[in-house]
Amino acid sequence: MLLVLLLLPMCWAVEVKRPRGVSLTNHHFYDESKPFTCLDGSASVPFDQVNDDYCDCKDGSDEPGTAACPNGSFHCTNTGYKPLYISSRWVNDGVCDCCDGTDEYNSGIVCENTCKEKGRKERETLQQMAEVTREGFRLKKILIEDWKKVREEKQKKLIELQAGKKSLEDQVELLRTLKEEAEKPEKEAKDQHRKLWEEQLAASKARREQELAISAFQELDDDMDGAVSMAELQTHPELDTDGDGALSEGEAQTLLGGDTQTDAASFSDRIWAAIRDKYRSEVLPTDPPSPSAPDLTEPKEEQPPVPSQPTEEEDEEEEETEEEEEEGEEGEEEDSQVPGEQPKETPPPVVPPQTASPTEEDKMPPYDEQTQAFINAAQEARNKFEEAERSLKDVEESIRNLEQEISFDFGPHGEFAYLYSQCYELTTNEYVYRLCPFKLVSQKPKLGGSPTSLGTWGSWAGPDHDKFSAMKYEQGTGCWQGPNRSTTVRLLCGKETVVTSTTEPSRCEYLMELMTPAACPEPPPEPPAGDHDEL
Amino acid sequence: MDAAEKEEISVEDEAVDKNIFKDCSKIAFYRRQKQWLSKKSTYRALLDSVTAGKESTRFQIINEAAKVPLLAEVYGIEGNIFRLKINEETPLKPRYEVPDVLTSKPSTVRLISCSGDTGSLVLANGKGDLKCHITANPFKIDLVAEEEVVMSINSLGQLYFEQLQIPPKQSTATKENEEDTSDNTTQENQEELGLWEEKFRNFVDVKDNGPASIGLDFSLHGFEHVYGIPQHAESHQLKNTSDGDAYRLYNLDVYGYKIHDKMGIYGSVPYLLAHKLGRTLGIFWLNASETLVEINTEPAVKYALTQTGPVAAKQKVRSQTDVHWMSESGIIDVFLLTGPTPSDVFKQYSYLTGTQAMPPLFSLGYHQCRWNYEDEHDVKSVDAGFDEHDIPYDVMWLDIEHTEGKRYFTWDKKRFPYPKRMQELLRSKKRKLVVISDPHIKIDPDYLVYAKAKEQGFFVRNHEGGDFEGVCWPGLSSYLDFTSPKVREWYSSLFAFSVYQQMATAEGLIQRSKGKERPFVLTRSFFAGSQRYGAVWTGDNTAEWSYLKISIPMLLTLSVTGISFCGADVGGFIGNPEAELLVRWYQAGAYQPFFRGHATKDTKRREPWLFGEEHTQLIQEAIRERYTLLPYWYSLFYSAHVASQPVMRPLWVEFPDELETFGVEDEYMLGSALLVHPVTEPKATVVDVFLPGSNEVWYDSKTFSHWKGACTVKIPVALDTIPVFQRGGSVVPIKTTIGRSTGCMTDSPYGLWVALSTKGSAVGEFYLDDGHSFQYLHQKQFLHRKFSFASGVLTNSCADKRGHYASKCVVEKILVLGLKKQPSSVTSHSPDGKAQPVAFTYCAKTSTLNLEKFSLNVGADWKVQIQ
């Protein structure tokens, strides 16, 4: 590019006669001795219709120097700067588009020729850019070499770790076997211990039940004749089975299994079980029998039976209705009582077991010495196994990280690898922006406050032919009624690594520019020293 | 989000929360009027009190319950207009009469009183073809046109007039009086009826002299179609309100307003039009307070099967529309516009309120807006994007963020450090910059504009006499009292003396150019007469197909109520349009009067080139079509400006005798020559286009296919199709090449589209001036030409001899559509009498003649003969 520019003045020395708006390369199409054929071949017109301000060719090629064709193009030579094609519709529209001013030859305005100045500035810029590119590219080569070394080291480390991992795995397997062996006797001893205790519990329960039956029998046996008759049973109307509130003879007889009376033995065996849940002792209150088995392990903390509270107002109406009904049915209901799920009729015949402090009986006795020894041994085996397993996991994690880093796509030659464990910041009026390449982008208010994620590493996002010119960070913090924040990081060639700008072109879609030597392309071969000095 | 009156503080809600706006049930005067009207109390006119003054005829009307008489005045106004005013004869203090809306005091014409029988009075115009027939008891006025009663006033007895009162606390001495006014009003009831105080959310409205609302009914005989009373996101033809809310007129900022709703949005014009075969009427209810309009339409009943004889049956056949106006305060001041044609009604209305301001040419180009273009660099790159993609545009816009903390008249120095440089860049491409300015002023003693306005007492006051404070975008703000001429004058001066600021308000801009330049001011808040000051847009719409579709009836309604320069945000302000919707919106917007892309700050960027090459091209093409037609647009605006004819016209306006056109709102006419049917459905492959008029012929503007009128045709549409049809008998002037802005196209040549009628003729007008100054007005520097085609001769002649304007532009191409026979020769006859053959091509298949290599000055008299 630089060379071409420098050579241009030589070409311009030869002025070729051509219609207005035609480039040097196209001038041979415009031979004034012949009719003009449109460049697309669509028509042929007498040469005096070229640039006659009327559009004849579909492609606009007969009017290269006027605004007559909607799709024509006008060529500016721009001596001293770069030649340029502009839309022919911009010819004579009062706006200077060509730096040599040739596009405005009949609009009444005079365009200053700024090509020389622009060319000078352009060359300066190009020179600066070339300098930056050269230096950047030199640094890039170093970065590539560095990464090669680092990568080799990491690979070595990886191999070491992989070897270590194998022996660790063996150890884990060994310890697992030992652990399992130690757990077998532990389990047997514990099971045995539990079984014994459960048998004890069952026996004592049966005993208690028997006692209850006997005492009930004695209560019922009003005439103490050693038998409970139908009439005696009928003194307990709560045993009513048809819901009429009284125990009829028939019902009593049914309860007695069709007999008219029963003795103590068959009462305990057959009848007690049928009436125990309804039966109300005459000597209240005694500790009623617990209908359920006690907890087999630790007694759990029982919650007092609190009726579930209806949520918020949505149930309010329902609740009120309930209350009204209840009041209607049962005037004595206390106001303070929270209406709940339990039916509000007579109190339940058998009060659920109060959470009495667990009796000695309910608690499992401590393990015997032998069992405890098995447990201790197994525990130790478990600890050792788990420790080994943790070490294995750590090694695996290190391997994964290393593998990931080594196989990460750091550009064609790994030139971007040095960014991997770095973070770069840019402070604007309001925020501190932080870019940790290949990891995340965040934004933090300058005056304190927690950072907002603008995205985590997604992928390289440059165009197909230049994939490594941009990075995409995705899935940042969600925007209110909007998308998740995301950031595109454009990589620009520079001598240093620095974030140069951050903008938000669309809501929650950020654009960041990172200058880095790694983005520097290979510069063209340096011009000979002599030419270089002239610039 | 732009210049407008802001009432509500919520500006960020994604969808409108209807609870923060009133419906009828929450409006106290509506409840009061409904309650009172249910009592069927009537007024009677005291016709023995009639006095015929020089200007008006006055008489008293009285209601048994109210006892205090009202004064009615009937005026005859030039141009077949009647005016009826009803006010208290001796109010406690003067009731509010709307100033500044009428352009001047309307000239009155003397009405001849020819009293009929006792109990009635007839007032007739000079010709005697228009009469007001006043009946005494119950009070009623019939408007008689050519012996036909076309309208009755108060025939439903809905006249309502609350009289100003002394507050109850002060009037304890006059106990009797109190009983009069507040009979059966318990404390609770008072609150319910909002007599002395009305609350809505946290707003409290205190009424010093009690309720003051008014109401009146109008029955339109034989009418089924009524239009107008913007602004609502509703159909063009007004709907029956009997089973829902009334149409509300009350200016509100409704971000993302709901469509098909009768709630009031940004602006109001209390003006209704009614149309039937043979007559168009207008009712202009000059009242600026909150207003509700109820519409009740009884359609015609055909062949009423009654046994009451032919007369009764005939009466039942007639349709009727009742319109009931209710306003919160002020007086009854209503203008009856008697037509008889739509065009007459437009003239009558603009005689009262003024015509559309003649816009500067650039404002008819494409506008690019966004809330917000972030900084100078952003502006530069968007501007460059248009050139890069070769898309013309005229105006770059900056929304509120360009200011220092939303202190209008300032620049954010960080984002826009060199505003002058930025404007120079745009100016070099003959483009413009428009910035926003809102009516609220940030409360900040260090902000010069605030400090000055505060010191001068220029802010709107609250009930206690302090400055009203509300929250808008800058935070706590006060609101300039623009009803005061002094405040307006001061505000204008802010524009005139601000060196770096290109802010737009009409007077300020005119002042700044020392009276030379036509201003361009866009607003979304408006009232009757706003057309005199600039353009109106439909506010914060949404990027959905339904909003694209409703933009057409919304703009048609604005257009028939005088506001020709109107548009909707292209693409939809809120949300992100998909590419297809955006393309369709650009296509529709290119054929709507005000053409601007706009988007809120939460949306994705949507400059025309961000949706892939295919869509960029489609948008480019739509915008170029706009620029191609600019000479036609400009001529239409001139016609709106001088002859009161809307630019965008509902079909019924152009075809008042075709019943089928009365309800059409998915297509419309641009002027009288082009019919536009924008595609407003996704993935459309065909649209049904109704081509009206049995004597008409229509030409597809792209394919040149033609159809006879009075039929519906199925037009296949691709994504690049904008269904536009040219009416046979018209000539449309166009530009043949498109530059990057209107300023760059000043000298580019013209073309003419001549579409022949069934009789082989065509006519069209063309207007041209310098595009920006008042010289067209003061020095008559303009060209007004008439192109007519008859008997094979196209003639360019002068349409207005007063105008002179030298243009070097030529007519370069002429396209004649519908020429059945191939000509043997075409000859042009220039002003000096020279005859020259003209090259042409003829296409027999489409019957089109193309005249090429033509080069005759657009402003000269010439002829082209086709043989």
B/e letters for A415-442, b = 16+ CB within 10 Å, e = fewer, are bbbbbbeeebebeeeebebbbbbbebbb
Q: And the tokens for B486?
A: 């002094």
Residue A226 in 3-state DSSP? coil
Check whether B496 has a pLDDT greater than 80: no
DSSP for B683-736, please give it: T-SEEEEEE--TT-EEEETTT--EEESSEEEEEE--TT---EEEETTEEEEEES
Token pair 């913090």: residue: A477
The amino acid that residue A67 corresponds to is A
| d(C-alpha B545, C-alpha A362), whole Å | 74
pLDDT tens digits for range B742-770 = 999 999 999 999 999 999 999 999 999 99
**B430 interaction partners in chain A (CB closer than 8 Å):** 93-95
Three-class DSSP category at B135 = strand
Give the 3-state secondary structure of residue A122. Answer: helix
| Euclidean distance between CA atoms B255 and A520, whole angstroms | 49
Q: What are the residue ranges of helices labelled H in B561-629?
A: 579-589, 613-628
pLDDT of residue A297 exceeding 50, the answer is no
Query: According to the model, what pLDDT value does residue A362 have?
Result: 67
pLDDT bucket at B305, cuts 50 / 70 / 90: low
Partner-chain contact B737 A68, CB within 8 Å: yes
Q: What percent of chain A has pLDDT over 90?
A: 51
What would the DSSP string read from start to end of A35-92? PEEPTTSS-EE-GGGTTSSS--STTSTT-TTSS-STT-EEEE--TTS--EEEEGGGTT
- Give B-chain residues touching A107 at CB under 8 angstroms: 747
Predicted confidence at residue B509, as pLDDT, reads: 76
Q: Which helix (H) or strand (E) holds B473?
A: none
Q: What is the pLDDT of residues B142-189, one digit of tens each?
A: 999 999 999 999 999 999 999 999 987 755 444 444 444 444 456 667
**B562 alpha-carbon distance from chain centroid:** 5
Q: How distant is the Cα of B801 from the closest Cα of chain A, in angstroms? A: 29
Assign B316 a pLDDT band (cuts: 50, 70, 90).
low
pLDDT tens profile B406-456 = 999 899 999 999 999 999 999 999 999 999 988 899 999 999 999 999 999
Residues in chain B within 8 Å Cβ distance of A482: 602
pLDDT class of B376 with cuts at 50, 70, 90: very high
Identify which of A366-370, B3-7, B38-42 has the greatest average pLDDT: A366-370
For residue B462, the tally of other CB atoms under 10 A from its CB is 14
Task: Tell me which residue of B428, B419, B364 sits closest to B394, measured CA to CA.
Answer: B364
3-state helix, strand, coil in chain B (%, to 5): 20, 30, 50
| B512 and A CB contact within 8 Å | no
Q: Which residue has the tokens 């994604």?
A: B14
Cβ–Cβ below 8 Å for A89 and B737? yes
When the pLDDT of each residue in chain B is averaged and rounded to a whole number, the result is 91
**In this structure, what DSSP letter does residue A182 have?**
H
Bridge partners (DSSP) of residue B574 are: B542
Per-range mean pLDDT, top range of A102-106, A205-209, A258-262: A102-106
Query: Per residue in A85-98, pLDDT tens?
Result: 999 989 999 899 99
Confidence of residue A284 (pLDDT cuts 50, 70, 90): low
Contact predicate B675/B727, CB 8 Å? yes
Mean pLDDT within A267-293: 67
Record: contact A506-B605, CB cut-off 8 A: yes
Residues B410/B398, Cβ–Cβ less than 8 Å:
no
Residues of chain A in contact with residue B737, where contact means CB-CB under 8 angstroms, are 67-70, 89
Residue in B414, B428, B430 closest to A429 by CB: B414
* More confident: B120 or A333: B120
- Cβ count within 10 A of residue A51: 19
B665 or A324: which leads in pLDDT:
B665
Residue A193 has pLDDT above 80, yes or no: yes
Confidence of residue B502 (pLDDT cuts 50, 70, 90): very low
Q: Which of A41-50, B141-150, B478-487 has the lowest mean pLDDT?
A: B478-487
Inter-chain residue contact A95 with B601, CB threshold 8 Å? no
Contact A481 B602 (CB under 8 A): yes
Helix (H, G, I), strand (E, B) or coil at B492: helix
pLDDT at B27 over 90: yes
Query: Does residue A95 belong to the interface with chain B, where contact is any CB pair within 8 Å?
Result: yes
Hey, is B405 helix, strand or coil? coil
**Contact B755/B730 with Cβ under 8 angstroms?**
yes
| Residue % of chain B over a pLDDT of 70 | 92
Residues in chain A: 535
Lowest mean pLDDT among A153-157, A245-249, B325-329, B783-787: A245-249
Cis peptide before A83 (omega within 30 of 0): no
DSSP state of B567: E
B585: three-class secondary structure by DSSP: helix
Between the ranges B77-81, B125-129, B602-606, where is the mean pLDDT highest?
B77-81
Q: What is the pLDDT of residue B497?
A: 57
Closest-CA distance, B568 to chain A, in angstroms, reads 22
> For residue A360, what pLDDT is reported?
55
d(CA B430, CA B383): 12
Where is average pLDDT lowest: B172-186, B594-608, B791-805?
A: B172-186
The CA distance from B496 to B494, in Å, is 6
Q: For residue B788, with 0-12 CB atoms within 10 Å meaning exposed, 13-18 middle and 19 or more buried, which class applies?
A: middle
The pLDDT assigned to A107 comes to: 86
Does the ipTM surpass 0.85? Answer: no
* Phi, psi for A268 (deg, rounded to 5): -65, -40
Structure tokens at A81: 């700067």
Among A200-209, B388-397, B440-449, the least confident range = A200-209
In chain B, positions 775-814, which contact chain A (CB-CB < 8 Å)? 812
Question: How confident is the model at residue A479, as a pLDDT?
Answer: 83
**A105 touches B at CB < 8 Å:** no
Query: What is the 8-class DSSP label of residue B461?
Result: B
pLDDT of residue B116: 65
Half-sphere exposure of B91 (CA within 13 A, CB side): 20
B853 lies within 8 A of chain A by CB = yes
Among B602, B811, B840, pick the best mutation site for testing chain A contact (most A Cβ within 10 A): B602
Is the CB of residue A93 less than 8 Å away from at least one CB of chain B? yes
Q: What is the dihedral of CA A303, A308, A311, A312, to 10 degrees?
A: -90
Inform me whether the pLDDT recorded for A521 exceeds 60: yes
| Mean pLDDT within B389-402 | 96
**C-alpha distances out from residue B31 to A394, B34, B211, B296, B318, Å:** 77, 5, 12, 18, 31
SS3 assignment, position B484: coil
The verdict on a CB contact (< 8 Å) between B602 and A507 is yes
**Which is nearest to B114 in space by CA: B96, B126, B98?**
B126
**Comparison of pLDDT for A449 and B384, the residue scoring more:** B384
Write the pLDDT tens digit of every residue in B224-275: 999 999 999 999 999 999 988 999 999 999 999 999 999 999 999 999 999 9
Query: Residue B456: its pLDDT value, please?
Result: 95
- Give the integer Cα–Cα distance in Å for B272 and B1: 28
Tokens read off for A192:
């045995």
Mean pLDDT value across chain A = 81
**Paired sense of beta strands A486-493 and A509-516, if any:** parallel
Chain-chain contact of A95 with B428 (C-beta, under 8 angstroms): yes
Average pLDDT over residues B25-49: 90
Count of residues for chain B? 867
- With tokens 């159909």, the residue in question is B235
Nearest-CB residue to B603 (from A54, A87, A507): A507
Asked if residue B528 lies in contact with residue B536, where contact means CB atoms within 8 angstroms, the answer is: no
Tokens read off for B215: 């109401």
Helix then strand then coil, in percent of chain A rounded to 5, is 45, 15, 40
Higher pLDDT, A239 or A199: A199
